[in-house]
Amino acid sequence: DSGVFTISILEQETPLGFIGRFGFKSGREVDKLDGVTYKLGETKAPIVLDHTLAYLEARVINHVDVGTHTIFIGELVAAEVIGEGEPMTYAYYHQVKRGTTPKTAPSYHKD
């Protein structure tokens, strides 16, 4: 509804609980930023600073409904590297951290 979003590039050491707080819970149900260090970006969208190596800030220019997800397409407004370390990739999250999707998440698929 805000028309803006941010993407945080997380460090590999980010705890699974921290990831789950943002990835698997609705902001309608919990305050995702409670107890989290953040700043407001150029668009006034919150930029999470905890466990973040870099961030991207964008304005929504389109969106695509793909069933279990909505993909937001954005025009980049700002970006900054704010830390050093190894970024967490999708493969690292699943293969090394053994991250899984909770059964209660809308994106859950039984294997």
Q: What is the pTM of this model?
A: 0.80
Share of the chain above pLDDT 70, in %: 86
Count of domains observed in the chain: 1
Q: What is the pLDDT of residue 63?
A: 96
Residue 108 lies in a domain: no
| 109 lies in some domain | no
Cα 30 from Cα 97, distance rounded (Å): 24
Tally of residues, the chain? 111
Beta strands 70-81; 38-40: pairing state: unpaired
In angstroms, the Cα distances linking 69 to 32, 62, 65 are 19, 14, 6
Structural domain including 47 reads: 4-95
CATH number at residue 70: 2.30.110.10
pLDDT, one tens digit per residue, over 69-83 is 889 999 999 999 999
Q: Establish if 103 belongs to a structural domain.
A: no
- Per-residue pLDDT band at 45 (split at 50, 70, 90): very high
Q: How far is CA 59 from the centre of its chain?
A: 15
